[in-house]
Structure 1
Amino acid sequence: MAHVVIINGTNSESSRIQGVQQYIEQHVEEARSIEVYKLPAQALVTADYTNEVIQAANRLIEQAQVIIILTPVYKASYTGILKTFLDLIPQKGLENKVILPIMVGGSAHHLLVIEYALKPVLSVLGATTILQGVYLIDQSIERTAHGFTIQEEARERLQSQLQKLRKEPIFLS
């Protein structure tokens, strides 16, 4: 199976994005995760490409065939912490990779944020195979005493895109 890396661009462990990450990890074998909020803040803010932790994260991306990008919607865009990490990915660092963007927002009003905010940045990083993203309303992800529960309709849309990943040529080798 292809090498899959999840880039989690939320800024906290209690974010509903964590529920989406957990769901993906349960359904994609051997997915590796980069939780940006756990990376060294000083290295992110100062764009320290030489930081060992940042270099290790970039090696995961370099080795990946599939990148799944998760982020909440803040102020009609993706998170600033995600942007600081994307800035540390080498130019053309997403070239020859299949990208699946997934965003969680407070309402349907920001449905096009994937198209207008995130995809242009991914393209600049060399991404040419960007699958149709998944936009979820935060109300479809419920925090429970045991983690998170994702409503059926949202789970079905996530599962549909994960199945499309499996049909990509890289999974057929």
Structure 2
Amino acid sequence: MATVLALSGSPSRASRTALLAEHTTADLRVRGHRTHVLALRDLPATPLLTADIHDPSIARAVNLVAEADALVVATPIYKAAYSGLLKTFLDLLPQHAFTGKPVLPLATGGSPAHVLALDYALRPVLTALGAQVCQGRFVLDRHLTTAPDGAMTVDHDDERQLTRVIDQFDLALPSRAHLTAA
């Protein structure tokens, strides 16, 4: 099975985006994949902002990207674009860091007006990094509910659509693509 790294690009500790990334990786684990969630907000600020790839935490994060077979890139949408935190991290990666890797973009936001940010803001940078960008999903914040125990539920229609894009992503994963071709 594939190793999937989820990059959570929200700067907030109480983040629906992070919960969506965890929800997605839990689904992928059930399907037999190895998953890891990297909360970019936990990286040290100074080395991240100065692109100090020799800092141990930054080097480890870059190495996780290199070792992953595929990625989930989750971000809140602010002012019609993905988060600056995500942009800062993506900028320090090697130019072809995602080459040959399926990437599932996910976004959360407060308004349906931001839905195009996936295609017009995030997709181009993922493509520039060499990703095989899969169809992504934008989920309105109000369609994500957090229970007191921290568990997240997704609105029924969004859950159905999210499952559909995860199914397509799963088929694009190296181990699945090989099985489908055989």
For Structure 1 versus Structure 2, the TM-score category normalised by the shorter chain is: over 0.9
Q: Secondary structure at the match of 2:81?
A: coil
Rounded to whole Å, the distance in 2 between the matches of 1:171 and 1:158 is 21
Alignment correspondent of 1:140: 143
SS class of match (1:7): strand
- Deviation of 1:169 after TM superposition, in Å, equals 5.7
Structure 1: how far apart are the matches of 2:44 and 2:71? 21
Deviation at 1:24, TM superposition (A): 1.4
Number of paired residues?
172
The residue aligned with 2:77 is: 73
Residues 37-93 of structure 1: CA deviation (Å, up to 9, x unaligned): 000111111111111111111111111111100000011100011111001111100
Measured after TM superposition, the shift of residue 14 of structure 1 is 0.6
Q: Which runs of 4+ in 1 moved over 2 A?
A: none
Asked whether the 8 Å contact 1:67–1:100 carries over to 2, the reply is yes
Is 1:10 equivalent to 2:14 in the alignment?
no
The question of whether the paired residues in 2 share the 8 Å contact of 1:6 and 1:70 is answered with: yes
CA distance in 2, matches of 1:143, 1:163: 24
List alignment gaps of at least 5 residues for structure 1: none
Identity between Structure 1 and Structure 2 (%): 33
Task: Give distance in 2, aligned partners of 1:151 and 1:67.
Answer: 24
In the alignment, structure 2 segments of 5+ residues that lack a partner are none
In the superposition, the TM-score normalised over structure 1's length comes to 0.94
1:45 to 38, 46, 49: 49
Task: For residue 153 of structure 1, report the CA deviation from its aligned partner.
Answer: 1.3
Q: TM-score, structure 2 length as denominator?
A: 0.90
Say if 2:28 is the partner of 1:28: yes
2:79 is matched by which residue type in structure 1? K
3-state SS in 1 of match to 2:157:
helix
Partner secondary structure for residue 132 of structure 1? coil
Q: How far has the Cα of 1:13 moved from its partner?
A: 2.1
Take 2:173 and 2:94, find their aligned partners in 1: how far apart are those partners? 25
CA distance in 2, matches of 1:25, 1:119: 20
2:71, 2:25 → 1: CA distance?
13
Q: Whole-Å Cα distance in 2 between the matches of residues 95 and 3 of structure 1?
A: 15
Q: Residue 70 of structure 2 contacts residue 173 of structure 2 at CA under 8 Å; is this kept in 1?
A: no
Distance in 2 separating the partners of 1:123 and 1:16: 25
